[in-house]
Amino acid sequence: MTPSNTKKYYEAVGRRKTAIARVRIFPGAKNSYEVNGKPLEAYFPVKEMQEVATEAINQAKAADKFLVTAKIVGGGISAQSEALRHGLARALTVYNAELRSGLKKLGFLKRDPRAKERRKFGLKKARKSPQWSKR
């Protein structure tokens, strides 16, 4: 689905937890999404994940102006959709700097820093301690 005759695209990287999305937007093409070689609906079968992934481009009112391709690695389905949103928002600001203020207010340009905390020795999980017994 990548247009071979159109060489001009805008690229950005989006991240969330351990998911990394490399996003390219091709202006002037029809509204279409390709994620890891699959259509958006096939890659994200859950409707909420599709909405999260396309939220940035919909809020910028530019949904019908771009062909979007993305390569996503790592993380789970939820983190991947949020990484795609982050990458789309960054790519849109590269395309048009005037979109930055609106996307920034919605929080789409901020990389969500929350990640799983590491497990400590002597504990069951990151903070859960073993059951205490009196005797």
- 65-82 per-position pLDDT tens digit: 899 999 999 999 999 999
User: Domains plus CATH for the chain?
Assistant: 10-106 (3.30.230.10)
Give the residue-averaged pLDDT of 108-131: 94
Q: How many CB atoms lie within 10 A of CB 20?
A: 19
Give the residue-averaged pLDDT of 85-95: 94
Q: What does the DSSP 8-state code read for residue 81?
A: H
Tokens of 22: 């490399």
Q: Where does the pLDDT of residue 62 fall: very low under 50, low under 70, confident under 90, or very high at 90 and above?
A: confident
Backbone dihedral angles phi then psi of residue 104, each to the nearest 5 degrees: -70, -40
**Nearest 5 degrees, angle CA 115-CA 24-CA 40?**
75
> pTM of the predicted model, to two decimals?
0.86
Tokens of 82: 């949020």
- pLDDT: which is higher, 63 or 98: 98
pLDDT value of residue 64 = 85
